[in-house]
C-alpha cells in the first residue's frame, strides 16, 4: 500500500494519491508511517531522478502537488496526539528558495501541537522574519532551506535579529535537507532538527519554557 502511494506520487497522480492515503489511514497504518514510507519516500525517488536528469521540473511539480494532497489527508491525524502548547511562531523558506513542502509539513505539525504559526511563504528575506517576529510577538523564528546556495542566508537571519536587538527574546530554529547541526553551530542559530515532527516537539519545549 505504501509503495503504491510512493509510485503514484512519482507519476504525479494527485487524486489517486489522496485516495490511497485515505485507504491506508482506513486500514490503520499510522499517519507518520504513511508520510515517511509513502509520501516522502516517493518524493525522494523523484529527487534522485531529478538529480540524474531522468525527470525535469514539470514532473517534480506534479509530484509535489500529489505530495501536498496526500499530506492534507494526514494533517488532522499527524496533529491529533501529544502535548498541546501555546506560543507563536513565524516560519518561511529562506530568500531565493522556493521549496515549501518541508516547511508546510513543519507548519502543519506545529499547528497540531497548538502553536500559532505565521506563514511567510517562500523566498523570505532575513529582515522579514525579524520584522514579523517583532510585530507579531513571535517566540520563535523558523527557517527552512533546501538549496546549498540559500542556506547561508539563514546566518543573516541570526545577524538581523541581533541588529534589531531581539536576539535574547527570540529563538531561531533551522532545518531542511542540506542543513545540519554543524551548520547550526556555525551560524549561531538555536535549534536544528532533521524533520518536521522533531521541529514541532522542539518548538513546544521552547514555548513551554517561555
Ligand atoms: Co528542487 N532541488 N530545485 N525543486 N527539489 C532539490 C532540493 C535538489 C536536492 C534536487 C536534486 O538535485 N537532487 C536540488 C538542490 C541541490 C543543492 O542545493 N545541493 C534542487 C535544485 C537544484 C532545484 C533547482 C535549482 C532546479 C532548477 O531549476 N535547475 C530549482 C530551485 C528553485 C528555487 O528554489 N529557487 C528547484 C525547483 C524545484 C521545484 C519548484 C520543481 C520543486 C519544489 C516544489 C515545492 O516545494 N513547492 C522541487 C522539488 C520538489 C525538489 C525535491 C525533488 C524534493 C524536495 C521536497 O519537497 N522533499 C528535492 C530533492 C530531494 O530533496 N530529495 C529538490 C520532501 C520534503 C518533505 O522534504 O523539504 O527536506 P524537505 O523537508 C524535510 C526536512 O528537511 C525537514 O522536515 C521535512 C521532513 O519532515 N525540514 C525542516 C524542512 N524544513 C525544516 C525546517 C525546520 C526543521 C525541519 O525548522 C525550522
**Average pLDDT of the segment spanning 104-110:** 90
CA of 45 to the centre of ligand 1 (A): 12
**Average pLDDT of the segment spanning 86-102:** 96
Cβ neighbours of residue 135 under 8 Å, at least 6 residues apart? none
CA of 147 to the centre of ligand 1 (A): 7
For the cut 70, the answer to whether the pLDDT of residue 28 exceeds it is yes
Q: What is the pLDDT of residues 158-208, one digit of tens each?
A: 999 999 999 999 999 999 999 999 999 999 999 999 999 899 999 999 998
Angle between helices 14-26 and 2-10 (to 10 degrees): 170
What percent of the chain lies above the pLDDT cut of 70? 96
State the pLDDT at residue 81.
60
For the cut 70, the answer to whether the pLDDT of residue 149 exceeds it is yes
Task: List the single range of 69-78, 79-88, 102-111, 200-209 with lowest mean pLDDT.
Answer: 79-88
Average pLDDT score, the chain: 94
State the pLDDT at residue 109.
87
**Average pLDDT of the segment spanning 20-30:** 97
Nearest in space to 34 (alpha carbons), one of 13, 14, 20, 48:
20
pTM: 0.92
Backbone phi and psi for residue 174, each to the nearest 5 degrees, phi listed first:
-130, 155
State the pLDDT at residue 84.
65
- Substitution site in 177, 193, 205 for ligand 1 pocket (most atoms within 8 Å of beta carbon): 177
Does residue 196 line the site of ligand 1, with CB under 6 A?
A: yes
State the pLDDT at residue 119.
98
For the cut 70, the answer to whether the pLDDT of residue 82 exceeds it is no
- 124 beta partners: 94
For the cut 80, the answer to whether the pLDDT of residue 3 exceeds it is yes
What percent of the chain lies above the pLDDT cut of 90? 87
Amino acid at each position: 500500500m505504501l509503495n503504491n502511494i510512493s509510485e503514484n506520487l512519482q507519476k504525479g497522480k494527485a487524486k489517486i494519491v489522496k485516495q490511497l492515503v485515505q485507504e491506508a489511514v482506513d486500514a490503520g497504518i499510522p499517519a507518520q508511517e504513511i508520510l515517511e514510507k509513502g509520501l516522502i519516500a516517493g518524493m525522494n525517488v523523484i529527487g534522485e531522478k531529478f538529480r540524474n536528469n531522468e525527470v525535469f521540473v514539470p514532473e517534480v511539480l506534479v509530484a509535489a502537488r500529489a505530495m501536498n494532497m496526500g499530506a492534507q489527508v494526514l494533517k488532522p491525524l499527524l496533529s491529533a496526539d501529544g502535548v498541546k502548547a501555546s506560543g507563536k511562531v513565524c516560519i518561511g523558506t529562506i530568500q531565493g528558495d522556493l521549496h515549501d513542502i518541508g516547511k508546510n509539513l513543519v507548519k502543519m505539525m506545529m499547528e497540531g501541537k497548538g502553536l500559532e504559526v505565521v506563514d511567510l511563504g517562500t523566498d523570505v528575506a532575513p529582515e522579514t522574519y525579524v520584522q514579523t517576529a517583532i510585530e507579531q510577538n513571535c517566540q520563535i523564528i523558523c527557517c527552512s532551506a533546501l538549496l546549498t546556495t540559500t542556506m547561508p542566508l539563514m546566518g543573516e537571519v541570526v545577524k538581523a535579529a541581533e541588529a534589531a536587538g531581539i536576539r535574547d527574546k527570540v529563538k531561531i530554529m533551522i532545518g531542511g535537507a542540506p542543513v545540519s547541526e554543524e551548520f547550526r553551530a556555525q551560524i549561531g542559530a538555536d535549534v536544528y532538527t532533521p524533520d518536521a515532527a522533531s521541529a514541532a516537539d522542539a518548538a513546544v519545549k521552547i514555548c513551554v519554557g517561555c
